[in-house]
Structures are given as C-alpha cells and as structure tokens.
Amino acid sequence: MLVLNPIQPSLAEAEVRWLKRYGWLFPVLGFPLGLLIKGALWSGTLLNASFLPSNLAGWLSPLGLLIGTIISLVPVAWWLMLTLEIKIKSGGRGWLLAPVMACVCFILLEMAFRTYPVQAIFWQGVIARAGDQTQAREVGLYRLQAAADRKAKSPAGFVFPGSSQVVQGIDCAELSQLTGAPVYRRAVSGLFPIELICSQGLITFNHDNRLILLLSGFDVGARADLVPDAIRPQATWSGLRHVLRAAPASFQLRHWRNFVDLCFAASCDLWRSRDYVRFMWENPVAPNIIRNNAAAQSALNQQLQGYQRLGSNPEMVALCWQALDLFLGDMAQHFQNIIVFESRINPTSPPSASALDLENQTRRFFENQQHLQRIRFIPRAAQHLDLPPEYWADNTHVNAAGRQLLTEMIARFVDDTSP
C-alpha cells in the first residue's frame, strides 16, 4: 500500500522561495483585478452592462479595494499554511487538515452567501439574465425581496405568498395603496401548498404581519407527486418539518431521495440556490432572450391536462391537508391573523365530478380551520365577485381587468383588518 507523505520539506522550501520571489505579484496584480471586478465586470454582470465608470473615482470602490486586499493576502495565507503543515507533519494524520479546512472554507462561503450584499448581487444577477424565463425572474424577485425584508426591519403589512394565480392575479402595488399598508408578495409560479409550506422561513419576518392566502381545491390537487425542483429554491427547515411530519412513513420511504435533497436545501443556501448558480454559469453575461412560443403553448396544454387530472393522487391531497393543518397552526403564532380566500378558475372549464368533490372537501377543511380560530376563510360565495370568461387570460389566470377586480375584492376584505 502506498504511504503518502503530506509534504516534502524540499517542496515546502521551494514554495517559500517562490513566494519570496514572486509574492509581490499578488498585490500588484490583485488591486487592479479587484477594481476591474468591481468596475467593468460588475457592470457587465448586472443590468447596466452598457455603463462603465468614466473617471478614476468611479473605478476606486470599497468593494474593489477589499477584493484587491484579499488577493494581496494570498501569499501570507500560503506562507502561514506552509509553516503550519511543516509543524503538524509529524502528527500522523495531517492529511485530514486540508479536507477539514476546505469544509471550514465552504462553511464560510455559505455564510458569506447568506449575507444581504451577496444575496442582493446574486439574485439581481439572476434577474438580469432571466430574459423571458419567467420562473427564473420570479424566483429571483422572490429571493431578493425575502433577503431585503429580512435585512431591513420592514414595517408591518400583508404577506401574500402564492402561485402564478397571485403573480398574475394580484396587483400588490394597488393592494398596498387600497389598504394603506405594505404588501410583501412572495409568489412564484408553481408555489402550490406543499411548496408554500416549505417556504415558511422566507415569509415570516415580522410578528405584526398578516398573511393572505389564495387557495382552493385546485391548488390542493394540483400536484400529482412531490416536485423537489419546485420546492428546493424556497425550502426552509421551519416549513419542511411540517411536510416531514405530515408525510406517512411509506411516503417518506418512497421519496427518501427527494427528502434528503430538500433537507440539504433547507440547511445549505448554496444547495437551495444551486439551480440558479447553474443558471448564472450557463448565462455568463448575455441575457437569454430566445422566445420560445412552442414552450409557452406546451405549458398551456400541460395546464389544461393538469386540470383534468386534478387530485389524481389522493395520497398527495391528504399530505397537503395534513401539512396545511400543521402549517396554519404554526402560522397562527407568527402572524397577527391569516385570511384565506378561496381561489377560482376560468368558468369556461367545467370541473369534473372528482374536481368538484375536491373543491368541496377543501372548502370544508378551511371552514374547519376557521372554526379552530386559526384563519379567517372567505369562500367564493362570500366574495361577491363575478369573473366571467372575458376576465380570464387562460384557464387559471385572470387578465388585467380580472386582476383589478380581484385586487379590489381582496382589499375590501382585508381593509377592515389592516395592521
């Protein structure tokens, strides 16, 4: 068996000699590089690619100087490591030091990634590259707003998480104006109940907030299976634990790989954001603006097919209700109050008998939650809102006129409970 020597003294000496000879290059090249990263590359990587600093002061930025300083310190760190390694060489298991320190570096990277400046840079970069990829833009906006709201002590207002029905159906600026309180939108296409529950950690940031939900049997039965790709970018432990508790052991066993993936995502922000780190690598500068009409048509067809299969997996429906029960019970502690509006779909799509049954059961579920004084439930019948087919853009999303009506209706109900 090959026995490895962690480092040969001659190699260490050669490296020390090299550092003494060429170490000065790091600060000499590091500062210009740092200023370039903060200057030209920074501008190129974000929205304002055309803007380049035209004067010296524009190039001399604190962040650029900080990057330059970090690069300048590389030879010092290298030298310290060399002396450290020579000291521990006789320790026997010195080879463990590098992997352990790499893990420490990774944890530091993770901590840096969680800070607001890095989050802001990163998610702005994602939004800048999104082009017509709406999912990337929505997730980027969601995460950027979540990071900003957590950093700043945002005033109490309404938190409005939800799926594309909220993205396209609610005008948050208008709602904010109508209610006189800030509205924090946390909506992404495909944020159905399980995804919404898992995102709990990103929607709770002020105990005086009020939570608005737009849910119905359509949302509860929308997923035929667990979709980790949809959950991952918003997964947090505070929400994932409800799904884990609600899922029966057999379900957990069958989906153990997905749950491991989601547990990673809930624990490590770099894993949670991995799809978008990849997105950044794949779109280094230029936004992807390839318009894909075929994909849009395919999405519409999938939406229609999905509606036909509503609630096709009773196990998922049961999991949704069970997890929602735990989620709402917990949310009642984190919010001033919770208002659930029963959502609706285009009346031209006649619901199947099973879909109607699911709608009724979900309505009863929310009525029961109201009975437990966790939420205030506004069923469709109580909304006094008529949305005929001309107010709909497609099967599930309202158009601009429908958005206006829906927003006003919600404002009417939440106005008397303004924070």
Binding of another protein by 156 (CB under 8 A):
no
Interacting positions 21-80 with another protein (CB under 8 A)? 77-78
Task: Pick the binder of another protein from 165, 204, 206, 273 (CB under 8 A).
Answer: 273
* Cα angle, residue 192 at apex, residues 187 and 194 outer, rounded to 5°: 115
Of 44, 47, 45, 40, nearest to 61 by C-alpha is 40
Residues numbered 226-255 forming contacts with another protein, rule: CB under 8 A: none
Q: Please report how close the Cβ of residue 277 comes to another protein at its closest, in angstroms.
A: 4
CA proximity to 152, closest of 174, 184, 113: 184
Q: Which is nearer to another protein, 4 or 381 (CB)?
A: 4
Count CB-CB contacts under 10 A for residue 117: 11
Judging by DSSP bridges, how do beta strands 183-187 and 338-342 pair with one another?
Answer: unpaired
Binding residue for another protein, selected from 171, 261, 342, 359, defined by CB under 8 A: 261
Of 15, 132, 325, 357, the one binding another protein (CB under 8 A) is 15
CB of 103 to another protein, least distance (A): 7
Q: Does 105 bind another protein (CB under 8 A)?
A: yes
Contacts 24+ apart (CB under 8 A), 310-313: 310/217, 310/218, 310/221, 310/222, 310/351, 310/352, 310/354, 310/355, 310/358, 311/217, 311/220, 311/221, 311/354, 311/355, 311/357, 311/358, 312/221, 312/224, 313/223, 313/224, 313/225
CB 269 within 8 A of CB 122: no
Q: Is 284 in the site for another protein (CB under 8 A)?
A: yes
Pick between residue 24 and residue 106 the one whose CB is nearest to another protein.
Answer: 106
Q: Identify which of residues 52 and 109 has a Cβ nearer to another protein in the complex.
A: 109
What gap in Å lies between CA 246 and CA 123, rounded to an integer? 32
Site for another protein in 287-306 (CB under 8 A): 290
- Select the span of 10-18, 54-62, 161-169, 327-335 touching another protein (CB under 8 A): 10-18
Indicate the residue among 62 and 99 with the shorter CB distance to another protein. 99
Contacts (CB under 8 A) with another protein, residues 347-386: none
The radius of gyration computed from the CA coordinates of the chain, to the nearest angstrom, equals 26
**Count of CB atoms within 10 A of residue 76's CB?**
12
- 270 touches another protein (CB under 8 A): yes
186: β partners: 161
Number of H helices, E strands in the chain: 25, 5
Site string for another protein, 70-89 (x = CB under 8 A): -------xx--xx-xx----
Stretches 91-99, 138-146, 154-162, 233-241: which one binds another protein (CB under 8 A)? 91-99
Question: How many chain residues bind another protein (CB under 8 A)?
Answer: 45
- 127's CB contacts (< 8 A; 6+ apart) are 47, 136, 137, 140, 141, 144
Distance CA 332, CA 198 (A): 16
Cβ proximity to another protein, 271 vs 307, nearer residue: 271
Torsions phi, psi for 393 (to 5 deg): -85, -35
Minimum CB distance to another protein smaller for 260 or for 304: 260
Give the integer Cα–Cα distance in Å for 411 and 305.
33
Q: To the nearest whole angstrom, how small is the minimum distance from the Cβ of residue 15 to another protein?
A: 6
Least CB distance from residue 1 to another protein, whole Å?
Answer: 5
Q: How far is the CB of 326 from another protein (least distance, A)?
A: 27
Binding-site member from 254, 274, 309, 380 for another protein (CB under 8 A) = 274
383-416 as b/e: b if 16+ CB within 10 A: bebebeeebbeeebbbeeebbeebbebbbebbee
CB under 8 A: which stretch of 1-9, 38-46, 187-195, 238-246 binds another protein? 1-9
Q: What six digits make up the tokens of 266?
A: 């809930």
Q: Applying CB under 8 A, does 3 fall inside the site for another protein?
A: yes
Whether 179 contacts 158, CB under 8 Å? yes
* Cα–Cα–Cα angle for 319, 337, 262, rounded to 5 degrees: 35
Between 278 and 364, name the residue whose CB sits nearer to another protein. Answer: 278
Segment contacting another protein (CB under 8 A): 47-55, 64-72, 152-160, 274-282? 274-282
Q: Point out which residues bind another protein (CB under 8 A).
A: 1-8, 11-12, 15, 77-78, 81-82, 84-85, 93, 95, 97-99, 101-103, 105-106, 109, 257, 260-261, 268, 270-271, 273-274, 277-278, 281-286, 290
